[in-house]
């Protein structure tokens, strides 16, 4: 019983220790995280697929401009027609030019409920033939109901 308790305590101590990684493993993880961050910023839809297409052999990680070279590779992947589907489309500001009907300004509207004729109110209360006569009367004055 005593021996079993010591074993459990020893396992608990090793479980609570942080994992130690080698310097090379740390550098590899740092490079992968940088690549994943750049791909996410570029709008990659699938990080593993985009990561697999990166050419790691041409990157010199000791050079200062390796991040810029990695960005260039990502831009190239985004631009190529065979890999562009891996990235979300770029959002472009659209300049809307109305070519057809434009919304009418509030001041240009005809007030059918005004004191001029009150055709709208009369039409709402009318039934049958009377409604047709009110519409004809309004049309004669240039008001379309």
pLDDT per position as a tens digit, 77-117: 999 989 888 898 877 666 566 566 655 555 555 555 554 55
Cβ atoms of 29 and 21 closer than 8 Å: yes
The CB density around residue 78, as the number of other CB atoms within 10 Å, is 19
- Report the distance separating Cα 93 and Cα 100, nearest Å: 21
For 107-123, letters b (16+ CB in 10 Å) and e give eeeeebeeeebebbebb
**Per-residue pLDDT averaged across 37-64, rounded?**
88
Instruction: Choose between 113 and 130: higher pLDDT.
Output: 130
- The predicted structure's pLDDT at residue 141: 80
In 3D, which of 25, 79, 23, 73 has the Cα closest to residue 52? 73
Per-domain residue ranges for the chain? 21-86, 110-140
Report whether pLDDT(72) > 50. Answer: yes
pLDDT band at 73 (very low <50, low <70, confident <90, very high): very high
- The predicted structure's pLDDT at residue 135: 83
Return the minimum-mean-pLDDT range out of 6-10, 125-129, 140-144: 6-10
Which tens digits make up the pLDDT trace of 7-25? 555 555 555 556 777 888 8
Main-chain dihedrals φ then ψ at residue 96, nearest 5 degrees? -80, 120
């Amino acid at each position: 019983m005593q021996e079993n308790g010591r074993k459990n305590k020893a396992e608990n101590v090793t479980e609570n220790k942080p994992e130690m990684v080698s310097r090379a493993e740390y550098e590899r993880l740092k490079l992968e995280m940088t690549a994943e961050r750049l791909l996410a910023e570029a709008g990659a839809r699938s990080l593993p697929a985009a990561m697999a297409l990166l050419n790691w052999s041409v990157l010199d990680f000791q050079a200062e401009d390796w991040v810029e070279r990695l960005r260039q590779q990502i831009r190239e992947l985004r631009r190529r027609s065979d890999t562009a589907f891996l990235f979300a489309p770029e959002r472009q500001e659209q300049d809307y030019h109305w070519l057809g009907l434009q919304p009418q300004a509030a001041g240009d509207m005809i007030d059918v409920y005004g004191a001029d004729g009150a055709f709208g109110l009369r039409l709402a209360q009318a039934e049958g033939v009377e409604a047709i006569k009110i519409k004809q009367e309004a049309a004669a004055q240039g008001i379309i109901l």
